[in-house]
Copies of this chain bind each other. A is one copy, B any other.
Amino acid sequence: MRTVTEHQTAVAELLRPRFEKRGAESVPLPQALHRLLAEDLRAPVALPPFDNSQMDGYAVRSAESGARLPALAAIAAGQQAALLPPGRTVPIMTGAMLPAGADAVVPVEAAQPARFVSAGESVLLPEAPAGQFVRRAGSDIAIGALAVAAGTRLGPAQLGLLGALGLGSVPVLRRITVAVLSTGDELAAPGEPLPPGRIYDANSTLLGSALSEAGATAVLLPTLPDDPAGLDAVLDGLTGVDLLISTGGISQGAFEVVKQGLAGMVGFHQVAMQPGGPQAIGSVRIGPPGEERTIPFLGFPGNPVSTLVSFEMFLRPLLAGPRNRLRARLSADAASPPGKHQIRRGLFAQETVQLLGGPGSHLLHAMAQANALVHLPLGVAELAAGEEVEVWLL
């Protein structure tokens, strides 16, 4: 039996070299949301690009403040400011370029009169130390400094920064394309009638949307009955994908289509984890004759909760980085098989986590109400209410 860490390592060793070689593409800034930056981006301009005023007020030479000074015509944001002659002040708006010579700003409400005077009028300014209400050029970021690091997932703040730096497009990693294959004679497609003894396929939707959320492109294949020859046909027809994931068909039953179809090609393991114990990993040959290539393969167990937990434990960290992880207090006692790392579904709020549903891997309704995965690690058999556990926020 493998530990979770051992299987995580195996998956990372299989996938990371492929993911790292995926290549990049340039996309316009507004379309780069949630993409991964392909290279370190350094600031091509400083931010702010020039010394500017933090307030609506009067720009002044600090050494001349504390006096009545005649004013020049106001400087609006966007104007190129000229030199401030000695013995003068100038109304300046927030964000406007500080004129050369000036080194401080007096807020308009601190002036007498407490308004913007016209050019030629005088205004009494209180003493202002050098640098007061001045945003120095480069005080946010200097030219050439690292703005956003390679691998960063681009959210609104990162994209806003890249916009402020003047970048109209941005190099991002190509999306990973993942084919999803739900297997089992028992599967019916959502929207179709449900014959007796059968269940609707949840895993295509579940994994497809989880992959999308993690930034990958999901290709949902038609569900595969328990027919190993059918699996061969699926592989032959597959092109343009970086990874194949199957669900179901890897356990100890008499009809395990993935296990039978890929015997000798991929490894089948028991991982010391609940749910999600059975796991398959390896490489498969895809594509029509003459255009074959080998891609990595992961086989997840068929129960939906097992599938999603497998995705969260083994694949999502490689696509989208780790989840936010916290310590939280259990709201009630909990038990776990000591030989397994148990992952429960929970509702986290106010530093406490409440387990939802039991450990059963078919409890999809409870999972749909959860906002966290709760980890009861290897070696733990019982935990009392109030004890701390690790939770991952979904």
A residues whose Cβ falls under 8 Å from a Cβ of B: 29-30, 33-34, 45, 47-50, 54, 56, 74, 76-81, 91, 93-97, 108-109, 116, 135, 139-141, 145, 147-148, 155-169, 184-192, 194-210, 212-213, 220, 226, 251-255, 302-304, 308, 324, 326-327, 351, 357, 360, 362-368, 370, 393-394
Contacts and interface: CB of A to CB of B under 8 A. Distances in A.
B160 A77 contact: no
Contacts of A394: 155, 157
A76 B190 contact: no
B166 A200 contact: yes
Nearest to A182: B163
B252 A186 contact: no
27 contacts: A33-B213, A34-B213, A45-B194, A47-B364, A47-B365, A49-B199, A76-B186, A77-B186, A77-B226, A78-B184, A91-B254, A94-B251, A95-B184, A95-B302, A140-B362, A140-B366, A141-B364, A159-B205, A160-B206, A160-B308, A162-B205, A163-B202, A164-B199, A168-B192, A169-B191, A326-B351, A327-B351
Nearest to A345: B157
Given A77-B255, A78-B186, A365-B141, A197 B50 contact: yes
A30 B76 contact: no
Nearest to A34: B213
B360 A163 contact: no
A139 B363 CA distance: 8
Contacts of A141: 364-365
A82 to B, nearest CB: 11
Given A49-B194, A56-B254, A209-B33, A364 B202 contact: no
A93 B255 contact: yes
Contacts of A207: 156
Nearest to A92: B253
B196 A304 contact: no
B213 A80 contact: no
Contact of A212 (B33, B47, B97, B162): B33
Contacts of A365: 47, 140-141, 145, 147, 161
B254 A116 contact: yes
A218 to B, nearest CB: 8
Contacts of A93: 253-255
B33 A195 contact: no
Contact of A209 (B30, B76, B189, B360): B30
A394 to B, nearest CB: 7
Nearest to A211: B156
A160 B202 contact: yes
Nearest to A158: B368
Contact of A208 (B30, B91, B139, B148): B30
A148 to B, nearest CB: 6
Contacts of A187: 78
Contacts of A33: 209, 212-213
Given A30-B220, A163-B206, A200-B163, A213 B253 contact: no
Given A251-B94, A362-B48, A304 B76 contact: no
Contacts of A56: 251-254
A186 to B, nearest CB: 3
A173 to B, nearest CB: 18
Contact of A202 (B45, B164, B185, B220): B164
A367 to B, nearest CB: 5
A80 B188 CA distance: 14
Contact of A196 (B50, B186, B302): B50
A78 B198 contact: yes
Contacts of A97: 196-197
